[in-house]
Amino acid sequence: MSERIALFPLGTVLFPEGVLPLRIFETRYVDMVRHCMRENAGFGVVLIEEGAEIGPVGALSPVGTLARIVDFGQLPGGLLSIVARGERRFRIVASDVQRDGLNLGDVEWLQDVPSRLGEDEYPALRATLARVLADLGEDYPTGRTQLDDAQWVAGNLAQLLPAPAAFRQQVLEVDDVRGRLDMLESVLAGRD
Q: What is the pLDDT along the chain (192 residues), one digit of tens a residue?
A: 889 999 999 999 999 989 999 999 888 888 999 999 999 999 999 999 987 777 677 789 999 999 999 998 888 877 889 999 999 999 999 999 899 888 999 999 999 888 999 999 999 999 999 999 999 887 777 777 899 999 999 999 999 988 899 999 999 999 999 999 999 999 888 754
Q: In DSSP terms, which residues pair with 80 in a beta bridge?
A: 24, 74
- Same domain for 182 and 96: no
pTM of the model: 0.89
Would you say residue 154 lies in a domain? yes
CA distance linking residue 51 with residue 60, whole number of Å: 9
Tell me how many domains the chain contains: 2
- Same domain for 104 and 127: no
- Same domain for 141 and 72: no
- Same domain for 94 and 165: no
3-state secondary structure of 93: strand
Gyration radius (Cα) of the chain, Å: 17
- Same domain for 138 and 181: yes
CATH number at residue 144: 1.20.58
What sign has the CA pseudo-torsion 160, 167, 164, 69? Answer: negative
CATH number at residue 46: 2.30.130.40
Q: In DSSP terms, which residues pair with 60 in a beta bridge?
A: 48
Would you say residue 86 lies in a domain? yes
CA distance linking residue 1 with residue 166, whole number of Å: 28
- Domain range for 58: 3-109
Would you say residue 59 lies in a domain? yes
Would you say residue 35 lies in a domain? yes
Cα-based angle 48, 106, 82 (whole degrees, multiple of 5): 55
Residue type at 15 in one-letter notation: F
- Same domain for 141 and 83: no
